[in-house]
Chains A and B, each alone.
Chain A
Amino acid sequence: MNWSFETLKRIQTQKGVQGIIIVTAEGIPIRSTLDNASTVQYAGLIQQLVMKARVTVREMDPQNDLTFLRIRSKKNEIMIAPDKDYFLIVIQNPTD
């Protein structure tokens, strides 16, 4: 039983979620609920951003590490949960 699918389905049913992408650390999208063009764009851009954020956090304190990254914009919020090998990206329209 592939629990990963269940997890993703559960996230998708939450209120306001527009899309989910799972990306490897190199930027290859593994699974996505958005169309290919957007997926590739998100994957490429966000991977660079996460690298930068991680380096920033680490430079301030080498013992520290990045656990979560939220980018709130006028239209939606992009949430990124990074890990050593993979990232989970969720785009949500927050309540307002």
Chain B
Amino acid sequence: MEIVYVYARRRCDFGRPCNFSDRPAELHVDVLPDPALAADFVRRDPCDVAVQCAQEMSEHEVNTERFESEARGINHVEGGWPKDINPQEMEQTIRFRKKVEKDENYLNTVMQLGTLMEHCIKQNNAIDIYQEYFEDEEEMVDSRERPSAKTINVFRDPNEVKRTATSLSWHPDGSRKLAIAYSCLEFQRAAKNMSFDSYIWDIENPSCPEMTLKPASPLVCLEYNPKDSHILLGGSYNGQIGYWDTRKGSQPVETSAIEHGHRDPVYKAIWLQSKTGTDTFSASTDGQVLWWDIRKMSEPTERLVLDLGRKGNLDNALGAISLEFESTMPTKFMVGTEQGLVVSCNRKAKTPAEKIVCTYSGHHGPIYALQRNPFFPKNFLTVADWTARIWSEDIKESSIMWTKYHMSYLMDGCWSPVRPSVFFTVKMDGTLDVWDYLFKHNDPTLSLKVCDEGLFSLRVQDSGALLACGSQLGTATLLEVSPDLSTMQRNEKALATAMFERETKREKILEARQREMRVKERSRSEQSKEDEGRDTDAGDESAEQLLARAERDFFEIVGAELKKRELEAGQEQIGAEELAGYFLTSYQANGPGCQ
């Protein structure tokens, strides 16, 4: 191919024709080295230079516009029949069939196919060619692959104004569906046009929710009924409890009356185990735990006020943030409070005063999550402030195991339903931590940054492999954990039991020792009181006396300092100007920075 470039110019625009000639080289510029310039440079030895012989590539991310797809069914009728025959008419179809059966072609074909088919059937009956030979032997999973988790799907809040995904609940059988409750928990920050809806998503279809639930006020918590997978219980921001039936539509079937419900948002509502499968209870920061029967939502069936003084006084009550109920221990339940205490209660107590059995203290902030270990019900996990702690029911003074203090708030946590030593937590900085304390105590086994905003809620599916976490902007992420975190290892139960026992024993010993020391202190202080009877110094000072003493000391010190300065100024025998100058310098020296 000829490469030709043609341009045209006027003859007078062309310069003079070129005249080439030979001549020797001419030196135009000669820059001599100037050693003085070397002073501006520092010698660097050795130099690190990276060289790579590879193609230069750049990375770009492209994301297509999100499109909404909907699956719809099509109704079609039986087809294939020839034009003159109406498939609904029995007579015509029978006649057609009889006609075909008389056809010679048909007979031959059927004979042929029949022999072929018989051969295969007999083959099947003779030997099962798909027989599994080594079924009994267990797979030796010895692959030391690192634990990992990957995101499978992300469900975004379809509304304009994003709300926090405060609670998640998996569908009880099959777990193909996930119910998410959305609300804005920040006090009075909810935008005016914020939608109140909560959604049920099908995990295969993240583009649009499968069903909407429309409460009167945004839902703070949502739970599927473990016995009946069509019923969901929701607690809302205005203190009402409602239940939905997915077969009956988006409106709640029944909600509690506002006067009898809670006075604060219902932070947690759980289904109870009962013969009718309709009992639930709920907790809220107004200090009450209410029991409901969903058939009659107008009034709670029972009420408990979380007053530690056991007087039923609402003003003294602790606000409840989380509830725990294990169906294997139906008489006991636990409440996690805003004040950082876990209150263990007995359901079957006769008087309300006896309902509260004991408390466990140790946290500094509200207890956002509380769950018993599914394999060891005597131990439970609490997630609050900046730590997660594991407790044993017998030790009330402190937890038996705890994580270090993290940089951001821990918002939710739960045990893995398949492995007794694994639990998950989520934090306000958007990370999900997987802890396996048979593997490592100090740090999480796996720490994943799921999103930029804070994560508020977390729920593991019953199989142990899938987990969903909800964030502040309403995005729920579905993650799958690697198989070694979701299958039970050999001896795991025995090892976990041994570990729990060891830690419990340690705490018991520590507790006993502390008690001893306290007793000793007390006896010692009693003795010293007898010896030094009247000495009231530093021993029995009241607050006022302490204050007076502090004031006195302070003024003494200030007075002494002032006097010292006057002396210094007065001792100098100098003229007024120099005095002024001295004052200035002395002021600068001893002035604002003076301590």
Q: Which residues does A use to contact B, with CB under 8 Å? A: 2-4, 7-8, 10-11, 14-17, 22, 24, 26-28, 30-31, 40, 44, 47, 67-68, 70, 72, 77, 79, 81, 83-88, 90, 92, 94-96
Contacts and interface: CB of A to CB of B under 8 A. Distances in A.
B105 A4 contact: no
Contacts of A70: 120
Contact of B105 (A2, A30, A85, A90): A85
B113 A30 contact: no
Contacts of B130: 72, 94
B349 interface: no
Contact of A88 (B81, B105, B114): B114
Given A79-B117, A83-B112, A2 B101 contact: yes
Given A2-B107, A8-B110, A90-B121, 12 more contacts: A3-B111, A4-B110, A7-B110, A8-B114, A11-B117, A11-B118, A17-B121, A24-B80, A24-B100, A28-B81, A84-B109, A86-B110
A31 B102 CA distance: 12
B120 A16 contact: no
A40 B78 contact: yes
Given A14-B121, A17-B121, A68-B120, A31 B97 contact: yes
B122 A79 contact: no
A47 B105 CA distance: 19
A25 B30 CA distance: 94
Given A24-B100, A30-B101, A40-B78, A7 B125 contact: no
B128 interface: yes
10 closest A-B pairs (Cβ-Cβ)? Answer: A7-B114, A26-B80, A27-B80, A88-B113, A81-B113, A4-B110, A94-B124, A28-B80, A14-B121, A83-B109
A48 to B, nearest CB: 11
B114 A11 contact: yes
Contacts of B122: 14
Interface in B90-106: 96-97, 100-101, 105-106
Contacts of B116: 67-68, 81
Contacts of B15: none
A4 B106 contact: yes
16 contacts: A4-B110, A4-B111, A8-B110, A8-B114, A10-B118, A11-B118, A24-B80, A30-B97, A30-B106, A40-B78, A47-B80, A68-B116, A77-B124, A83-B113, A86-B106, A86-B110
B117 A81 contact: yes
Q: Which of B97, B105, B121 has the largest count of A CB atoms less than 10 A from its CB? A: B121
A85 B96 CA distance: 15
B131 interface: yes
Interface of B: 78-81, 96-97, 100-101, 105-107, 109-118, 120-122, 124-125, 128, 130-131
Contacts of A4: 101, 106-107, 110-111, 114
Contacts of A24: 80, 100
A53 B362 CA distance: 67
A7 B113 CA distance: 9
A29 to B, nearest CB: 8
Contacts of A44: 78
A84 B118 CA distance: 19
Nearest to B110: A4
A79 B107 contact: no
A40 B96 CA distance: 16
Contacts of A2: 101, 107
A44 B128 CA distance: 29
A88 B128 contact: no
Nearest to A72: B130
Given A3-B107, A14-B125, A15-B125, A88 B100 contact: no
